[in-house]
Homo-oligomer: A and B are copies of this chain.
C-alpha cells in the first residue's frame, strides 16, 4: 500500500533527487564508501539518505536536533541494508549526544553535516576517525560559522564544502524555505494573523530577509534589527523599519530571530516588551533567545496552547515563547519541516559535494571550501529542467562582448 510509505509524498516533491537516483542508480559511483548524514530526520531527509544509498554508499545517519526526529522515517530507512540509524523519536539531549559519538565510531569516509555537530565532535573527541575522513559538507550558516573558526585555527583535518554558501542554498533554503515555514508555523501555532502585526525580524541575512519580505508580503508592519550597517541599510531600502533591539522590543508584537548568534533577545529586551508578545527563533541553535533569562524573570509559566510557553512576569505582563526557543519552523507542534522543494536542492547539493570528492576525483587539502561554481550550476540546471523552464545561453557575439573591452562596434 503506497500510502503507508512515509517517504512517498517527499519523493514526489524532490524531483532533483529523483533525477540523481535515475542517473546514478546503476553506476553506483559511491559504492565502497560510508557516508555519515546528520539532519532533521523527517521524510525529505529520508529521501536524501535513500539517494546516497541508491548511488552505492553505505549510510549512517543521526539527527542534528534531538526533538525533530520522525520515528516512521527512521523505521523505513532502517529497513534497507546499508543504512544504519543512530536516531529514534523522543531522544533526550544526552542520548542525542551519545548517538553522534556512536556514529562517529563507525568511521565514516564522508560527513554531511547540519550545524557542524558531527564535524566538531569528530575533531574534538575522535581525532583518529577524523584523520581518515576524506571530506565533508555542511548545510547551515551557523555550521559554516563554526567551520570558519576551525579553519582559521588550522584544526580541520579534512576538506569541507560549505554547502550553505552557494547561491542555490541561499535562495531556496534560507530565503524561501525558512522564510515561509517560519511564518506558516507561527501562524498555525498561534492561530493569529501576520497581516497588520508589528513583526520584528532579528537579523537580515538570507533567512531574515526571507522572513521579513514574506511577512511584509502578507501585510505585516515589519521591523528589522541588524548589527551590520550595510544589511541595516538594505533592510531600510526594502521597506522595513530599522531599529536597535531596545526600540524594537517596545514596538513589536511578534519577534522572530534569524541571526545565527546568541542572546539576540535577552533580559533587557524582555523587560521592554509589551504584554502578550510572541517570541520565537528561526535561526539555528536555541541560544538566539536567552530563555534562561526569561525563566529567571518569570513568576510562573503556563501552556495556553500547544507549542506555546507563557511566562508570567511579576508586573503582570505575559510573554509567549514558541517551541521553547528551538527552531519554530522545525520543532513546533505542527511543523512538517522545511518545504520539500527547498530540501530537494539543498540535499542535491550535499549529494553533489560527496560525489565530487568521493567519485569525481576532486582532491583537496584540509580546510573549508566554497562549493565550486560548476557544482552549483549543475544543480541549478537540473532544477530548471525539472521545472520545465527555458533559458538560453549567450550568443557567440554576446560571449565575445563579455570578453573584449575595446567594444569596437559600440556606436560611440
Interface residues of A (CB under 8 A from B): 1-3, 8-10, 12-13, 43-44, 66, 93, 96-97, 116, 120, 124, 145-147, 149-150, 153, 167-168, 171-172, 175-177, 179-181, 184-185, 187-188, 190-196, 214, 216-221, 225-230, 232-234, 236-247, 261-264, 276, 285-287, 302-305, 308, 310, 318, 334, 336-337, 339-342, 376-377, 380-381, 383-384, 387, 389-395, 397-398, 401-407, 409-412
Contact = CB atoms under 8 A, between A and B. Distances in A.
The count of identical subunits is 4
Nearest to A339: B193
B196 A405 contact: no
Given A180-B194, A193-B339, A302-B2, A221 B239 contact: yes
Nearest to A382: B229
B406 A124 contact: yes
A213 to B, nearest CB: 8
Contact of A214 (B167, B218, B221): B218
Contacts of A153: 405
A302 B93 CA distance: 37
Given A180-B218, A225-B391, A228-B391, 16 more contacts: A2-B302, A10-B191, A66-B412, A147-B405, A168-B233, A179-B195, A181-B187, A184-B187, A187-B339, A196-B236, A233-B380, A245-B392, A261-B398, A261-B402, A285-B407, A286-B410
A218 B212 CA distance: 11
Contacts of A406: 120, 124
B411 A287 contact: yes
Contact of A221 (B241, B391, B407): B241
A202 to B, nearest CB: 11
